[in-house]
Structure 1
């Protein structure tokens, strides 16, 4: 029954989305006809391209699309008149502009990226068809800007006013579900449930984090009242972000204790049960402070000559403090978002503090994608110029658009091929309409009636991510082939075929160039992401000042989201066999903690800690250079020396944090080393620690 209700809700939302998109497209087409634009069908196509099931996403992208269109139009106006007599140079400059814009946009990965991506291929859309009539470039540029802008504005207005689906509702629902799943994961870890179950939960939560982050980017443009408390939602997301390494660190320490056959002391076991009861009871912040105080008190009582099991227990208690503190804040912030409950002074300060969360940037792949786009455009231009093909400009235009649209994929070939195939499927449908139906259409209401049976069903499939590309290809192919003009005039079949064949040539060239120089295997992509992780860890281990935990965790979690499906797809052989995608995240958080705590150590302890951190940096620098090696034994000795020095410090918050982080580093880098002994260096190998 629940599945049926979910399916019905999906069908209803998809129908509403299709209706809104169709209404926006028809409004844009009507405005284009009314003001006498030469190609009003561009406005109709743009309305469909801009449409999104969430109103906030349409509004946020609309602003950036308008800016990108304006920049691209301006560039075309500046380039065509002086370079029109040098077609090769003009094509080269436009191709380089497209590549440069795509390169920068791929490094952003937020809605802002639309500015430069559109600026790139908009210049091509305006410049290439204008080379035969350079004296009309200004009129063409203005008309094209108007057509695209009308489509953007109409889509924004319709999706904002007619049955709008705000970002706020789905975002809060996902945050609520995420926090509930985090509670359950923490309980499963504390109750020592199966590793398979907890591993599945942590992967799902990690994958959902970046999705929530990207969704929250649209909140300032939303139609819901959550737009007014955007800072609260961002603060909540900041707290949930660090929950993943905290809970995973708890699991890591409990697993180490179990692997060595150590039983928890009655006092520690009782505290774990208290934390579990507190979480099961709703994780109320009011009940957190006494629990945190007791956890810190027991952890601070760890003797300086403690054995490895006692140190693991002390580190476990420190992680429990972090868990209770962060989980309590998260639930309080969520209650404020959902029920407007008041915030404490500390949380109000957190809300006012903006922490930057950088996402993963792959300069190498961005450069390859930019190069592929530029070369595809140049090849299309070469075919156009050398053959004297009247409509060859369309091939260069579509090559630019296709290369930009699908540049974020590891292997864009299947998607580009699908786009081309469904464009081809739309062609005979458009031909039937163009040469049999359209001659009977005499006014705009009749045009709307004949287009609805085709466009409305296609719009339903646009609402689902899995069928978005085929549906979008069908719609854009149909609208472009129909080429509705200002007077509803009808083109002859030769012109119809010539223009559309140019589009397929552009898609084919984009497909060929992409396959030749841009496509990488899933295995290679996974290795690249892992090397980026190791390069980050090497940098933060050697850095003199600590990184912001949210920034580092955000970047590592973003890569984790990208890595998880890739590791599941590759054959788990060789170096990728049994890769733990959260291992790097745990190490990264321990490095951040040590960098923050070490300034409060005495000189000797600080020097030993820095020596150990430099060794960690050397190890991950070696791995980032392609040599997948285990951590060297000398690093284990450095970590043990630093760990022993930290245990000798007088009780303090810095000591507890440093002790927990150093224990975490040792356990993650040397899982099979013999247990730490206060006596000093170790030379024997033993069971997992």
Structure 2
């Protein structure tokens, strides 16, 4: 299938080709032992966005230096014990891979690269341990050269800034949040609301990934990293807020209270007018006053109060989001002291991490490398070092996937597909030319054509496999020599490593979409159980970040898994709402009188037991006793004078609605 041919893809492919051949030319001029490593690195580092190229360049340099240092430390000291050296290098790769998988941002590239770089340098150096320092130094120089050339070309020749793309994503996201809020308040159909929710959850994680590259960007937006982070926090909070608002609207159907209906219409008009912050602050105060005025023990009053609390929180998050967006568009746009302080906070919000799965991935890499080493050592295969090297590379490249095997197979197949083309060039075309200009001319057609596929995420892996396989198989040197036996023997090791990576990964690490979805659900349920049993509230944005990240990961997995009995009744967004309701209740708890705290604690412990049971595989509806505990807590909070009780009541109402949607209306103490 032909690539998407447009100005952007053509510019990217030509830039990448120019960077790769520039690195190769400088490598020839400097007399580097493996200049083709610089050429391949230029392609690996190249990204459609200039900021991503620079961030990946920094991470790759750091990872290469760390991996080279590990190889220099291990090989000379263990070269006389090949099995021990193999074990040490395999454990290094496995440990680096495990740690890198705990950080799902581009920063993880540092440790992942440090792992397989040690293998790339260490295993081939076994035959010449005294030269390992020189090999490591040259590896760093060649990788650094490829990185430098890619960074310069993509930064200077019509660069594509990360800031421009990120700003577009943020603008689109905030517009979709406004539309979701309007759909909810206007009572639109469930399909439209679900569509809005899916878009926002998926985009939240994508925006955080892009934001990691922002400090390396050349656009003006680089100076507003703190504003982007603060805006992302409001995005994370808006997803459960809008979802909870939709739940309250569903519970109340057509709101009959004229005052509340008027407030809803005011919010709709405010959003349609652009969500200005000053007008939003006035609206928040009116909503809070209306919530206090509607306060009562009856279930309808509690629902109205909860609706108004959620509505005021939503207005605040939208207003702050629009104010931060205005600051992105205009550096002189004013911010309140509270918002300005939030832009100066350090660090990004946490993301989902799965330590057991990371350990399993690292263990699979260790076993695949050791099996490849066994074949190499026991057979006395002179060029067999390529097998453990490629086992390490394949296990690391695709470890973040649910089932890496198809991707490893695809990479291997496309690498294999590059060999006939490499053979034609090595034994037919290259011997017939002389000089770098002719080399440039004959290399341009295939490399530029294949490079057109890289900007397409669906085809990027296959394109890189062909490009890297082609460049490494040619192994271009300043002085050309073609040896068919060396060509065949050197590439055979690659497929031995590929075979062991596939076999071990399939046996130990691969999982389907259903198993992956189940792991995410269990992790979410365990987290909710711990939160319910805690006696202090976490920071809302940080807690929402993890749950929203899991929601974005879980939604496509549930869709791929299809209708299965063990997923009946599963609603990841409901779990997110429950989590934020738990945060609200925990935050209100310290200001309650002792009797109120005891009732709330009983309800929270019941919620914790329910989710612990779900995580343990005992699927059942919440216990009627839990409903009794929640109602008892509601009776205490609905008449409590403390101001914080308002949020506590809203949280308990949310727990009751989400855990017992079909339960009869709450009955206050006086009506029993």
| TM-score normalized with structure 1 length | 0.95
Q: 1:323 aligns with which of 308, 314, 333?
A: 314
Question: What is the deviation of 1:247?
Answer: 0.6
Are 1:278 and 2:270 matched, yes or no? yes
Partner secondary structure for residue 131 of structure 1 = helix
Structure 2 equivalent of residue 662 of structure 1? 652
Question: What is the deviation of 1:98?
Answer: 0.5
Question: What is the deviation of 1:440?
Answer: 2.1
Q: Tell me if the contact between 1:283 and 1:327 (Cα under 8 Å) persists in the aligned partners.
A: yes
Structure 1 equivalent of residue 612 of structure 2? 621
Question: What is the deviation of 1:339?
Answer: 2.7
Question: What is the deviation of 1:441?
Answer: 2.5
Question: What is the deviation of 1:9?
Answer: 9.8
1 CA distance for matches of 2:137 and 2:348? 38
For residues 3-50 of structure 1, give each alpha carbon's deviation from its aligned partner in whole angstroms, at most 9, with x where no partner exists: xxxx99972111111111111111111111111111100010011011
Structure 2 equivalent of residue 580 of structure 1? 571
- Number of equivalent positions: 670
Question: What is the deviation of 1:469?
Answer: 0.7
Structure 2 equivalent of residue 455 of structure 1? 447
For residues 359-383 of structure 1, give each alpha carbon's deviation from its aligned partner in whole angstroms, at most 9, with x where no partner exists: 1111121111111111111111111
Are 1:204 and 2:194 matched, yes or no? no
For residues 566-589 of structure 1, give each alpha carbon's deviation from its aligned partner in whole angstroms, at most 9, with x where no partner exists: 110112121212422201110111
For residues 602-655 of structure 1, give each alpha carbon's deviation from its aligned partner in whole angstroms, at most 9, with x where no partner exists: 221122112211211111111112212221111111111111111111262x12
Q: Tell me if the contact between 2:51 and 2:162 (Cα under 8 Å) persists in the aligned partners.
A: yes
Question: What is the deviation of 1:350?
Answer: 2.0
Structure 1 equivalent of residue 342 of structure 2? 350
Unaligned runs of 5+ in 2: none
Q: 2:505 aligns with which of 514, 518, 523?
A: 514
Q: Tell me if the contact between 2:41 and 2:146 (Cα under 8 Å) persists in the aligned partners.
A: yes
Q: Tell me if the contact between 1:44 and 1:151 (Cα under 8 Å) persists in the aligned partners.
A: yes
| Farther-moved stretch of structure 1 (101-110 vs 131-140) | 131-140
Cα gap change, 1:681/1:19 in structure 2, threshold over 3 Å: closer, same or farther?
farther
Partner secondary structure for residue 462 of structure 1 = coil
2 CA distance for matches of 1:353 and 1:389? 56
1 CA distance for matches of 2:460 and 2:258? 56
Are 1:605 and 2:600 matched, yes or no? no
Question: What is the deviation of 1:263?
Answer: 4.2
Partner secondary structure for residue 217 of structure 1 = helix
For residues 132-159 of structure 1, give each alpha carbon's deviation from its aligned partner in whole angstroms, at most 9, with x where no partner exists: 1112111111111211111112111211
- Trace 1:544-559 onto structure 2 (pairs within 5 A): 544-559=535-550
For residues 424-449 of structure 1, give each alpha carbon's deviation from its aligned partner in whole angstroms, at most 9, with x where no partner exists: 11100010000111112221121111
Question: What is the deviation of 1:590?
Answer: 0.6
1 CA distance for matches of 2:458 and 2:347? 33
Question: What is the deviation of 1:356?
Answer: 4.5
Structure 2 equivalent of residue 151 of structure 1? 146
Are 1:167 and 2:157 matched, yes or no? no
| Farther-moved stretch of structure 1 (592-601 vs 312-321) | 592-601
Q: Tell me if the contact between 2:4 and 2:453 (Cα under 8 Å) persists in the aligned partners.
A: no
Question: What is the deviation of 1:354?
Answer: 3.6
Are 1:252 and 2:242 matched, yes or no? no
Q: 1:639 aligns with which of 630, 637, 647?
A: 630
Q: 1:505 aligns with which of 496, 499, 509?
A: 496
2 CA distance for matches of 1:371 and 1:486? 40
Q: Tell me if the contact between 2:592 and 2:642 (Cα under 8 Å) persists in the aligned partners.
A: no
1 CA distance for matches of 2:248 and 2:188? 14
- Trace 1:373-452 onto structure 2 (pairs within 5 A): 373-452=365-444
1 CA distance for matches of 2:356 and 2:175? 38
Q: Tell me if the contact between 2:4 and 2:452 (Cα under 8 Å) persists in the aligned partners.
A: no
Are 1:526 and 2:504 matched, yes or no? no
Question: What is the deviation of 1:680?
Answer: 8.0
1 CA distance for matches of 2:536 and 2:440? 63
Q: 2:35 aligns with which of 29, 34, 40?
A: 40
For residues 112-139 of structure 1, give each alpha carbon's deviation from its aligned partner in whole angstroms, at most 9, with x where no partner exists: 2111111111111001111111121111
Structure 2 equivalent of residue 334 of structure 1? 325
Structure 2 equivalent of residue 62 of structure 1? 57
| Farther-moved stretch of structure 1 (354-363 vs 459-468) | 354-363
2 CA distance for matches of 1:354 and 1:390? 52
2 CA distance for matches of 1:355 and 1:598? 28
2 CA distance for matches of 1:402 and 1:458? 21
2 CA distance for matches of 1:205 and 1:549? 18
Question: What is the deviation of 1:531?
Answer: 0.4
Structure 2 equivalent of residue 561 of structure 1? 552
2 CA distance for matches of 1:621 and 1:548? 22
Q: Tell me if the contact between 1:355 and 1:551 (Cα under 8 Å) persists in the aligned partners.
A: no
Structure 2 equivalent of residue 491 of structure 1? 482
Structure 2 equivalent of residue 51 of structure 1? 46
Are 1:571 and 2:562 matched, yes or no? yes
Q: 2:259 aligns with which of 257, 267, 277?
A: 267
1 CA distance for matches of 2:364 and 2:653? 47
Question: What is the deviation of 1:303?
Answer: 4.0
Are 1:297 and 2:289 matched, yes or no? yes
Are 1:363 and 2:358 matched, yes or no? no
1 CA distance for matches of 2:171 and 2:3? 23
Cα gap change, 1:605/1:377 in structure 2, threshold over 3 Å: closer, same or farther?
same
Q: Tell me if the contact between 2:537 and 2:587 (Cα under 8 Å) persists in the aligned partners.
A: yes
| Farther-moved stretch of structure 1 (613-622 vs 461-470) | 613-622
Question: What is the deviation of 1:338?
Answer: 1.2
Structure 1 equivalent of residue 661 of structure 2? 671
Cα gap change, 1:128/1:250 in structure 2, threshold over 3 Å: closer, same or farther?
same
2 CA distance for matches of 1:571 and 1:467? 25
Unaligned runs of 5+ in 1: 1-6, 683-689
Partner secondary structure for residue 342 of structure 1 = coil
Q: 1:80 aligns with which of 56, 75, 79?
A: 75
Structure 2 equivalent of residue 686 of structure 1? none
Q: Tell me if the contact between 2:514 and 2:561 (Cα under 8 Å) persists in the aligned partners.
A: yes
Q: Tell me if the contact between 1:17 and 1:460 (Cα under 8 Å) persists in the aligned partners.
A: yes
2 CA distance for matches of 1:432 and 1:8? 23
For residues 55-107 of structure 1, give each alpha carbon's deviation from its aligned partner in whole angstroms, at most 9, with x where no partner exists: 11111121111111111101111111111111111101111111011000000
1 CA distance for matches of 2:320 and 2:403? 41
What's the Cα RMSD here? 1.6
1 CA distance for matches of 2:347 and 2:122? 41
| TM-score normalized with structure 2 length | 0.97
